[in-house]
């Protein structure tokens, strides 16, 4: 109701819309190069504004309807959430209120059948508090100590959530939920006897790159995606490493002295590297990487380069090219197995006249289908509109779309197989969200064992070779399996930060 973004609640008012830089009647076809560049910059900024505003408006509407549903269902002591699997085997909740929803909704949901914390449960509840507070990169022991050391600050937030800013606004509500449970436990003579219902989540480190690294036994990728214990007091941070590596090679990515001088004192941050790294394995392009960077540059209020008359010489788009090249080169160096695996999957699709099919380790049949799409412009004159685009699928196989989709589809089918294997092996309540798993605090130790043992079991098979053996290769075409490294998959069993 305040509209101030308290506890991560979306703002009620939109951000100012980017102003169109020209007068009515602007003709792009007859514009100067500087005007065209200014128009393109405005168009990109406006697109970002529309995306952000659509998200904000949707969150606002969703918040109102979710509150209404939560109030309706609070009279019940137990709820069941229907789920389904998509065509790759990924599990989704069907209902609007579910554990895959926003932080606000997740914080309102607890496991019905709670259990006493015990010593280890109290420990993991403290770890969960630290994770929700944004202190999420260190060892579990340091996280629990951080919670103990900052208990006064955390309690102040819990008791005055509308006035005291949370340590991390994105997880403010789940932090509130966790602190309520911890406070109630600590108020008892013996906190270990507290019956807790709060789910404690453990998340994978850049899941897609983890799967490729395990699949191809890549020791470099395994280190930076925490498939092997780094013997440090905090996990390997692939986003930070890629950002630093890209920063060191960016001078070699441009011959333009103006661009080189612009970036000389502007480091590539972890935040700038995160989305390009996360999406690389799912088929991100140079263009999408540049779009992420342009958005980050605007959020950071980084300037463009204008001439003396104020005309734009170097837009965010033009300035981002060098950094996008550096980031993509850094990802290839950091996780070479992902690059090799993606290229091989692409080659399989290109070498076959038929859609590639496979069955996941848990029996889910998958077809990598891409369909031709026809777009037609329809000229109209109605309510200020002069044209509309109509898209129609033809029903015919599109090899180009199948190529772009094979890597994310194959990896998603394997991470969904891992999820199903974890659920089948667990003898305790578990909440799965793709590459994040949650259990009661007292069951987290058992969950860690199940997560790692099933992952080792999953990649004891040669999935790329199995896939290649089923593909009908066109005569004259050839595909070569990428080489495997010497990473010992058994190291996963003792990798503290694989899920944390």
Two tokens at 4?
Answer: 């101030």
Where in the sequence numbering do the catalytic residues fall?
203, 274, 435
Tracing tokens 């219902």 back to the chain, one arrives at 197
Q: Kindly list the distances between the CA atom of residue 39 and the CA atoms of 35, 438, 439, in Å, as whole numbers in the listed order.
A: 6, 47, 51
Number of Cβ within a 10 Å radius of residue 350 = 15
- Phi–psi pair at 22, nearest 5 degrees: -130, 165
Task: Name the β-bridge partners of 390.
Answer: 376
Helix pair angle (270-280, 286-299), 10° resolution: 150
Mapping DSSP to helix (H, G, I), strand (E, B) and coil, where does residue 485 land?
coil
Per the structure block, which two tokens stand in for 171? 């997880």
For residues 462 and 363, what is the distance between their CA atoms, to the nearest angstrom? 16
User: Residue 408 and residue 401: Cα distance in Å, rounded?
Assistant: 12
- 403/406 Cα distance (integer angstroms): 6
For residues 288 and 283, give the distance between their C-alpha atoms in angstroms, rounded to a whole number: 10
Lookup: tokens for 62: 């969703």
- From the list 134, 162, 159, the residue with the least C-alpha distance to 3 is 162
CB neighbourhood size of 4 (10 A): 11
What does the alpha-carbon distance between residue 17 and residue 230 come to, in Å, rounded to a whole number?
Answer: 46
Long-range contacts for 57-63 (Cβ within 8 Å, ≥24 apart)?
A: 57/14, 59/10, 59/102, 60/10, 60/12, 62/102, 63/9, 63/10, 63/102, 63/104
């Amino acid at each position: 109701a305040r509209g101030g973004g308290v506890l991560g609640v979306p703002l009620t008012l939109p951000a100012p819309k980017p102003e169109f830089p020209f007068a009515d009647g602007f003709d792009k076809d007859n514009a100067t190069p500087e005007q065209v560049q200014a128009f393109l910059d405005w168009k990109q900024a406006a697109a970002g504004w529309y995306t952000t505003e659509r998200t904000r408006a949707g969150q606002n509407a969703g918040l109102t309807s979710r509150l209404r549903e939560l109030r309706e269902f609070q009279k019940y002591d137990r709820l069941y959430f229907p789920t389904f699997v998509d065509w790759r085997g990924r599990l989704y909740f069907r209902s609007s209120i579910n554990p895959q929803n926003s932080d606000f909704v997740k914080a309102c949901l607890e496991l019905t059948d709670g259990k006493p914390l015990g010593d280890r449960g109290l420990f993991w509840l403290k770890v969960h508090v630290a994770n929700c507070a944004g202190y999420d990169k260190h060892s579990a022991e340091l996280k629990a100590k951080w919670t103990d050391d900052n208990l006064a600050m955390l309690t102040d937030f819990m008791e005055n959530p509308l006035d005291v800013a949370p340590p991390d606004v994105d997880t403010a509500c789940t932090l509130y939920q966790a602190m309520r449970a911890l406070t109630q436990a600590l108020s008892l003579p013996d906190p270990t006897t507290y019956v807790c219902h709060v789910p404690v989540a453990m998340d994978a480190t850049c899941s897609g790159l983890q799967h490729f690294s395990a699949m191809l036994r890549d020791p470099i990728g395994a280190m930076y995606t925490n498939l092997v214990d780094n013997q440090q007091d905090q996990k390997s941070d692939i986003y930070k490493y890629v950002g630093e590596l890209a920063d060191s090679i960016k001078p070699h990515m441009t011959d333009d002295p103006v661009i080189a001088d612009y970036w000389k004192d502007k480091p590539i941050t972890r935040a700038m590297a995160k989305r390009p790294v996360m999406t690389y394995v799912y088929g991100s392009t140079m263009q999408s990487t540049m779009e992420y960077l342009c958005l980050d540059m605007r959020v950071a209020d980084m300037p463009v380069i204008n001439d003396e008359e104020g005309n734009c010489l170097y837009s965010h788009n033009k300035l981002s090219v060098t950094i996008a090249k550096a980031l993509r080169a850094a990802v290839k160096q950091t996780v070479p197995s992902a690059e090799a695996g993606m290229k091989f999957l692409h080659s399989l699709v290109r070498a076959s006249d038929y859609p590639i099919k496979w069955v996941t380790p848990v029996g889910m049949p998958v077809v990598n289908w891409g369909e031709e799409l026809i777009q037609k412009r329809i000229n109209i004159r109605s309510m200020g509109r002069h044209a509309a685009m109509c898209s129609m699928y033809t029903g015919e196989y599109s090899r180009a779309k199948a190529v772009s989709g094979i890597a994310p589809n194959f990896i998603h089918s394997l991470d969904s197989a891992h999820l199903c294997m974890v659920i089948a092996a667990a003898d305790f309540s578990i909440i799965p969200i793709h590459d994040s798993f949650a259990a009661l605090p007292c069951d987290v130790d058992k969950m860690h064992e199940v997560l790692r043992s099933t992952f080792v079991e999953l990649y004891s098979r040669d999935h790329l070779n199995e896939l290649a053996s089923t593909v009908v290769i066109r005569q004259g075409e050839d595909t070569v399996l990428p080489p495997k490294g010497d990473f010992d998959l058994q190291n996963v069993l003792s990798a503290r930060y694989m899920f944390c």
